[in-house]
Chain A
Amino acid sequence: MKNHNGSCFAIRKALTKRQEYILLVCSFALPLLLWCLVSYVPFLYHPLVRVTDSGDSFLCARGDLIERSAFERENKELSSAGEAVMKGERANPTYLPAPHQVAKALVTAFLTPPRRAGDSWFHESIGHSIRIVFLGFLISSLFGVPLGILCGTFPFFEKLIEPFIEFFRYFPAPVFATLCVAILGINDAPKIAIIFIGTFFQQLPMVANTTRSADGGLIEAAETLGASRRRILLKVIIPDVLPRLYKDMRILLGWAWTYLIVAEVVGTSSGISWFINQQAKYRDFANVYAAIILIGCIGLACDMFLAWLGRQIFPWESGCKGMLYRAAEEIFGPRDRVFSIVLPKEERRKRYEQRHLA
C-alpha cells in the first residue's frame, strides 16, 4: 500500500482516495472483527459454560450458565460418585451478545411491543430522545451563539459576561438535576434544562474564542473601506468565523448527546436511556447494545449530514457553489435577480441600465 509520496506513513501527506476508502472500512471492520472473534471462536474468552445436558446433577439445570471451574468441579464430583456427568459448551456471559444477536435485535426492537401496556415503543423512545437533544441544543444556541459572538467582538461584553460563565462552566450539569426537577417539574422541561446547562456554558466561551480568531487583517481592510461597526460585525467578522463556528456547533451537538443520558434519568425516566435500563433489567443485552449502537448511528448520520450541509453553504471553503447555496441565492437575493442563474451578467447589466435611464 504505497501512495505517490512513497509511504502511507508519510507525515501530513495526503493519502490516495483508494487508501482513504480502505482505511475507512477498516476503521469499522477491525472492531467488528474483534467482536466476532470473541463471540464465535470458542476457545477465545468464553469464560462460562452453558449446560446442554445436566446428567445426574441436581445443582444445575439444562440451559444454565455457570463458571467453567464450577462446571469442572461438579463433573469431577459426579464422576467420582459414578453418576452421569454434565455436558456443556463454552459460552460468553449474557452481557456480551454475539454480533448476529445484536443485528437481529436492531430489527426486533422496533417490532416488539412494549412489555407493559402504556410503555413506549422503541421508536417512540428514540423520537423522544432526539426531540430532547435538539430542543436543548437549539435553546442553548439561541442564547449562546449571539452572546458568544458579542463577547468575541466587543471587549465590553467579554469582561462583563465571560468571567461568570468561566466560573459556572465548572459545575457539572448533573448537579443541577434535582434543582431542575424542583423548579420545572418532572416531565421534559428539566431534561431540556440539563442539556441546556451542559451545552450553553461550554458553547459561549467556545463561540467567543472562535469569534476572537476572526482575521484582524480583514477587519482593518473593512475599516479602511469605510465600513461601519455594525457592517464590520455582520459582513466581516461573522462571515469570516462562520465556517469555524459551524464546526464548533457540530462538536457541541456531540456533547449535547452525552448529556442526554444524564437528562433522561432525571424526573421520570424516558427516552432511549429508559429503554436501555428496562432491557438491562430484563437481561436482554442484545437490545441494550442495539440501542447504544443506534445512538452512535444517529449521531454519526447527523454529523455527516451537517458536514455535507457545511460544504453546501460555505462555497468559498471548497471553491464551488453547491446546489443549496445557489437555491438560497435565488430565494434571498434581490428581487430582479430571481433568475440570475438563467440571466447572463451582461443581460443583468442591460436591465439595470434600462431601469435607471428610464
Chain B
Amino acid sequence: MNSATLPDYKRMTPEVRERLDRIAARPVILEGRNVFKRFPTSDGGEHTVLKDISFQVHSREFLSIIGPSGCGKSTLIRILTGLESATSGEILLDGKPVVSPGAERGMVFQKYTLFPWLTVCGNVMFGLESIGKDRDTAENVALQWLDIIGLGKYADYYPRQLSGGMQQRVAIARALVPQPRVLLMDEPFGALDAQTRTQMQNYLLEVWRNIDITIIFVTHDLDEAVYLSDRILALKANPGEINELIEVPVARPRLSRMLLEPEFLATREHIDKLIRPPVKREDRCDFQIINMVGDKTHL
C-alpha cells in the first residue's frame, strides 16, 4: 500500500475517538512546563538539547516519545526521573515539582540494571525495602508479584542466569512493585532481538492493561511507538523541540495483525516523514566513483 492510498492518520473510528477523549478527561499525572536543557560547549557557547517542551500525561495513559537520534529524548526522560535537572522550566508530578529521583516514578533502562548480587526476588524487594518496608513484608509482596507476572519460578535465580528478555521483565517488575505513579521506560527493549522484542511489547501491554499505571515510553522504533501508545510525542532534533503530539487511531486491545491495518500504516507513515532526517549529499553512495572490483561490467 503506498502513501497515496492510505487514509488520513487523524481519521479514527468513533470508539477510538471516545477512548482517547476519556483518557484526556482523566486527571493529569505528569506535566512538563516549558522545559529547556542547555549544555555549555567547549568554545564557551551553549548547546540547546531541549527547547520549550510542554506536555501533559493523563492517568493510565500510554505515551511514547519518539524522535531522530540526538533529539534529546533520553535527556527528557532522565529529567522526568529526576536523574538530571532541567536548565529552566519544571516537571510536575501530581502538581508537585520533581527535583530528584524517587520511588513514585519507576524507571526501566535500556541497559540491564538488575543488581547482579541479588536474586530475582532480592531485586524486586529492593524498591520495597528502600521505601521502608521490612524484609519479611518485602519478600512476601515481591513473591506475590513475581507469581502474578509469571516469574514465580525464577525467584531464586541470579540475573546473570537469565536471558536479556527475562532480565527486562524482572526490571519491569522491580520498577512496578513499589507502586509508582508513572513508569518511565528508556528504550527498554532496544538491546533485545526482534522476536523477544515483540514478545516483550505484548507482555508490557498485558501488564499495563491489568495494573493501574501510567507509562511514558521512549523509543526510536516507529512500529513499537504506534503499536504500544495512546499518544506519541514526536520530537525534532537540534534543538529538540516538540514536532507534533499524535493521537494513535488504532483500537485496543492491540494485536500483532493490526500492524497491517490502514490506520496503523498511515500513522507510521506520518511519523516516519516527521522524524526521518533528510539524506545529506555526503551520505549518498556513488557507485560510479567507487569501483572496488576493477571492472564495471556488473554495474
A-B contact number at CB 8 A: 86
Mark interface residues in A219-236 (1 if CB within 8 Å of B CB, else 0). Answer: 011111111100100011
Pick the residue among B111, B130, B136, B156 that contacts A225 (CB under 8 A).
B130
Which of A227, A314, A334 is close to B117, meaning CB atoms less than 8 Å apart? A314
- B106 near A316: Cβ-Cβ < 8 Å: no
A146 contacts which chain B residues (CB < 8 A)? none
The reply to whether A240 and B130 form a contact with Cβ atoms under 8 Å apart is no
Cβ-defined contact, B113 with A218, below 8 A: yes
B96 beta carbon closer than 8 Å to chain A:
no
Given the interface pairs A217-B113, A345-B155, A352-B140, the reply to whether A235 lies near B107 with Cβ below 8 Å is no
- How many A residues touch the partner, as a band? 20 to 34
CB pair A226 B158 closer than 8 Å: no
Cβ contact within 8 Å between A224 and B106? yes
Q: In chain A between 210 and 258, which residues have their CB closer than 8 angstroms to a CB of chain B? A: 215, 217-218, 220-228, 231, 235-236, 239-240, 242
> What residues on B are CB-neighbors of A242 within 8 Å?
117
Alpha-carbon distance A228/B130, docked complex (angstroms): 7
Taking a contact as CB atoms under 8 Å apart, the answer to whether B130 and A231 are in contact is yes
Most interface-central of B104, B105, B140 (chain A CB within 10 A): B140
The interface residues of chain A lying within 8 Å CB-to-CB of B140 are 349, 352-353
For A334, the chain B residues whose CB sits under 8 A away are 135-136
Contact B107 A226 (CB under 8 A): no
CB distance from A138 to the nearest CB of B (A): 25
Question: Is residue A315 contacting chain B, with contact meaning CB distance below 8 A?
Answer: yes
Q: Chain A residues near B104 (CB, 8 Å)? A: 226
Contact residues in B for A235 (Cβ distance below 8 Å): 126
Please determine whether B143 and A345 come into contact, CB atoms closer than 8 angstroms: yes
- Are B81 and A224 within 8 A (Cβ)? yes
Instruction: Check A226 against B175 for contact (C-beta < 8 Å).
Output: no
Q: Does B178 contact A (CB under 8 A)?
A: yes
Is the C-beta of B277 less than 8 angstroms from some C-beta in chain A? no
B145 at the interface (CB under 8 A from A): no
- Complex Cα spacing A229 to B81, Å: 17
Q: Which residues 226-261 of B sit at the A interface, judged by CB distance below 8 A?
A: none
Tell me the chain B residues, 110-147 only, with Cβ under 8 Å from chain A.
111, 113, 115-118, 126-127, 129-131, 135-136, 139-140, 143
Residues of A within 8 A of B139 (CB): 352
> Are A319 and B113 touching (Cβ within 8 A)?
no
Q: Are B130 and A316 in contact (CB under 8 A)?
A: no
Q: Please indicate the chain A residues that have their CB under 8 angstroms from the CB of B143 in the complex.
A: 345, 349
**Considering only CB atoms, which chain A residue lies closest to B107 in the complex?**
A224
User: For residue A316, which residues in chain B have a CB less than 8 angstroms away from its CB?
Assistant: 116-118, 158-160
Task: Please pick, from A220, A226, A227, A240, the residue contacting B83 in the complex, using a CB distance under 8 A.
Answer: A220
- The proximity string for A residues 179-220 relative to B, scoring 1 for CB distances below 8 Å and 0 otherwise, is 000000000000000000000000000000000000101101
CB within 8 Å for A239 and B174 given contacts A226-B130, A319-B158: no
Q: Quick check: is B222 within 8 A (CB to CB) of the other chain?
A: no
CB of B79 to closest CB in A, whole Å = 13
Contacts known (A224-B101, A224-B175); A315 close to B113, Cβ less than 8 A: no
Can you list 21 A-B contacts (CB < 8 A)?
A215-B113, A217-B109, A217-B111, A218-B115, A220-B101, A221-B109, A222-B115, A223-B100, A224-B81, A225-B103, A228-B130, A231-B129, A239-B118, A240-B117, A242-B117, A316-B160, A345-B143, A345-B155, A345-B156, A352-B136, A353-B140
The 3 closest A-B CB pairs, nearest first, are A226-B103, A224-B107, A221-B113
New A-B contacts (8) at CB < 8 Å, excluding given A319-B161, A352-B139: A218-B115, A220-B109, A225-B126, A225-B130, A226-B130, A227-B126, A240-B116, A345-B155
